């Protein structure tokens, strides 16, 4: 009897899988229960392809819109700019629903299972928090110069430290650590109102590094993670590795918010006037809303902070780490950038964001850095709310899908010799810059884009204006600087760089 029941279930499952496959774009045939995981493992372990190469390989075989089964779950991958534009911009409203992938949703869920924050949430909660954060960032002066002053203040402090260590005008620095502090402090000052320095760097490090590691090691397999994994031997490690670092940030955020509450209660801190940081702004908004229906509760504050941390640190730090790898390897590009920077500032003042208009070559260089560093190998998934059309294919409601921006930005149809670092391609054809979309496009576009772009511009130009850059003579760059990970983040190994003060 049991055997017959098992057989019926199996046949039902095979029929369901077959039926489902006929409704989706082409892709490798899924194995029972395991989907295309065996193919992914084969390509990774035996063909030694990294995640980007695997997606490029699949695209060549099945076309620019293809289906990949992650276990029993089919996912549609969009590797074509035109289709992505159509889905995410022209019909963006229909396609902004986030697929609630458990390993990211679990730490962001309250006791009733409702997902908070802005990165993984949907519907009214997402709308309220996204609008609020965008407004706060705007009020803090993204694009108004206030944030620019903070970025430059952080830059000055970090490089004052470097200059103190210089001998005969030169110093070799742990570049990755310096960038981490510079970018980390900019976002920390926005969120918490204070910065980390050499003395309390350990506190920052102990929360940030495990979080970066956790996200960097995320692979396709994490999609299967469920809360009951934590009670299973061996698999609980898998769970802890990704969950504990996120919970640590939430605890850190909670501690900071509680300190602020206490200070307000004992009268040593006041919420009058303009908010000094994100916590102030959030508490003021809670007060303003009073008893009205709102999702702006305390847990919402902690999860918003987690999302700002996750979104606002490693992404920009990694891009800067990649930037200087490309620059170290392309002195001719450095020379051209420096010449342009010198013309814009007459060599007598720091570079400002307003100089962007007179530095087209630098802008092209940053676009090329963003294209080639493609720090997100894979993007977060969405879910269709109704039947939809992706290019030539119609997909049913509830289909999980995502654009593969890394593959799109390496498409030889749009970028000749895509693996080459060649900023000139955007000088020869400026409209190509629009096809570089590391922040995505559409309704769920990264709202940190203006901040990140300003950080990249100010950091790169002011370093190039002040210092000659060179590899550390004692420890030159390895040929392969990339950490070969099959995860979703394109990481670079930490490295040192020699800076020599220019006159």
Q: Residues marked as binding for heme?
A: 446
DSSP secondary structure letters along 477-498: PPS--B---SSSB--B---EEE
Burial per residue of 28-63, b for 16 or more beta-carbon CB atoms within 10 angstroms, e otherwise: bebeeeebbbebbeebbeeeebbbbebbbebbeebb
Residue 433 CB neighbour total at 10 angstroms: 18
Nearer to ligand HEM, 376 or 460 (CB): 376
285-314: contacts with ligand HEM (CB under 6 A): 307-308, 311-312
| CA–CA separation, 410 and 420 (whole Å) | 10
User: Do residues 72 and 16 make contact, with C-beta atoms less than 8 angstroms apart?
Assistant: no
| CA–CA separation, 487 and 217 (whole Å) | 5
Contacting ligand HEM (CB under 6 A), which of 130, 248, 352, 371? 130
Least distance in angstroms from the C-beta of 358 to ligand HEM: 23
Contact flag: residue 216 with ligand HEM (CB under 6 A) = no
Give 5's DSSP letter.
H
316-345: contacts with ligand HEM (CB under 6 A): 316, 319
Contacting ligand HEM (CB under 6 A), which of 109, 220, 379, 462? 379
Contacting ligand HEM (CB under 6 A), which of 451, 463, 489, 492? 451
Least distance in angstroms from the C-beta of 440 to ligand HEM: 4
Q: Which two tokens stand for residue 8?
A: 């019926």
- Window contacting ligand HEM (CB under 6 A); options: 39-47, 64-72, 102-110, 433-441: 433-441
- Window contacting ligand HEM (CB under 6 A); options: 10-18, 164-172, 432-440, 485-493: 432-440
- Window contacting ligand HEM (CB under 6 A); options: 7-15, 172-180, 415-423, 434-442: 434-442
Least distance in angstroms from the C-beta of 446 to ligand HEM: 3
Contact flag: residue 438 with ligand HEM (CB under 6 A) = yes
User: Do residues 428 and 416 make contact, with C-beta atoms less than 8 angstroms apart?
Assistant: no
Contact flag: residue 365 with ligand HEM (CB under 6 A) = no
Q: Which two tokens stand for residue 338?
A: 């420096």
- Window contacting ligand HEM (CB under 6 A); options: 74-82, 278-286, 444-452, 489-497: 444-452
CA dihedral 30, 31, 33, 37 (to 10 degrees): -80
Least distance in angstroms from the C-beta of 41 to ligand HEM: 25
Nearer to ligand HEM, 25 or 312 (CB): 312
Q: In what order do the strands lie in the sheet with 170-174?
A: 170-174, 496-501, 467-471
User: Do residues 86 and 76 make contact, with C-beta atoms less than 8 angstroms apart?
Assistant: no
User: Do residues 370 and 85 make contact, with C-beta atoms less than 8 angstroms apart?
Assistant: no
Contact flag: residue 315 with ligand HEM (CB under 6 A) = yes
What's the N-to-C CA distance of the chain in angstroms? 87
User: Do residues 79 and 55 make contact, with C-beta atoms less than 8 angstroms apart?
Assistant: yes
Contacting ligand HEM (CB under 6 A), which of 51, 65, 83, 119? 119
- Window contacting ligand HEM (CB under 6 A); options: 36-44, 155-163, 203-211, 375-383: 375-383
Residues that bind ligand HEM (CB under 6 A): 118-119, 130, 307-308, 311-312, 315-316, 319, 375-376, 379-380, 438-440, 444, 446, 448, 451-452
């Amino acid at each position: 009897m049991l055997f017959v029941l098992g057989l019926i279930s199996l046949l039902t499952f095979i029929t369901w899988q077959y039926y489902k496959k006929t409704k989706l774009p082409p892709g490798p045939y899924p194995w029972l229960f395991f989907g295309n995981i065996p193919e992914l493992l084969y390509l990774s372990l035996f063909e030694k392809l990294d995640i980007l190469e695997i997606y490029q390989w699949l695209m060549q075989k099945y076309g620019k819109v293809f289906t990949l089964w992650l276990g029993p779950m089919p996912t549609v991958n969009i590797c074509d700019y035109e289709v992505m534009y159509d889905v995410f911009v022209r019909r963006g409203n229909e396609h902004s629903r986030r697929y609630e992938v458990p390993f990211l949703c679990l730490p962001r869920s309250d006791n009733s299972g409702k997902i908070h924050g802005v990165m993984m949430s949907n519907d009214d909660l997402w709308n309220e928090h996204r609008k609020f954060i965008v407004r706060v960032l705007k009020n803090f002066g993204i694009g108004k110069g206030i944030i620019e002053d903070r970025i430059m203040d952080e830059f000055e402090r970090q490089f004052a430290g470097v200059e103190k260590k210089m001998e005969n005008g030169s110093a070799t620095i742990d570049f990755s650590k310096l960038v981490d502090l510079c970018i980390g402090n900019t976002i920390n000052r926005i969120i918490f109102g204070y910065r980390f320095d050499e003395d309390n760097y350990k506190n920052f490090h102990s929360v940030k590094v495990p979080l970066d590691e956790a996200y960097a090691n995320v692979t396709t397999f994490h999609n299967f993670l469920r809360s009951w994994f934590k009670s299973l031997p061996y698999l609980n490690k898998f769970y802890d590795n990704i969950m504990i670092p996120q919970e640590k940030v939430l605890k850190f955020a909670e501690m900071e918010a509680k300190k602020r509450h206490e200070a307000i209660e004992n009268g040593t801190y006041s919420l009058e006037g303009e908010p000094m940081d994100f916590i102030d702004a959030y508490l003021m908004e809670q007060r303003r809303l009073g008893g009205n229906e709102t999702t702006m509760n305390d847990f919402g504050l902690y999860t918003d902070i987690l999302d700002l941390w996750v979104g606002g640190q490693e992404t920009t730090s990694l891009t800067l780490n990649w930037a200087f790898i490309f620059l170290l390897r392309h002195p001719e590009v450095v020379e051209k950038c420096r010449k342009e920077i010198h013309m814009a500032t007459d060599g007598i003042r720091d570079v400002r964001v307003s100089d962007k208009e007179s530095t087209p070559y630098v802008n092209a260089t940053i676009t090329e850095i963003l294209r080639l560093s493609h720090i997100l190998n894979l993007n977060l998934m969405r879910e269709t709310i109704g039947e939809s059309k992706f290019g030539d294919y119609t997909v049913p409601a509830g289909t999980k899908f995502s654009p593969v921006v890394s593959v799109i930005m390496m498409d030889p149809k749009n970028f000749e010799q895509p693996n080459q670092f060649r900023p000139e391609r955007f000088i020869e054809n400026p409209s190509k810059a629009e096809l570089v979309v590391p922040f995505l496009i559409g309704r769920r576009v990264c709202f940190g884009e203006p901040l990140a772009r300003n950080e990249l511009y100010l950091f790169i130009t002011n370093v190039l204006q002040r210092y000659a850059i060179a590899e550390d003579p004692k420890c030159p760059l390895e040929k392969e600087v990339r950490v070969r990970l099959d995860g979703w983040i394109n990481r670079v190994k930490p490295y040192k760089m020699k800076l020599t003060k220019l006159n």
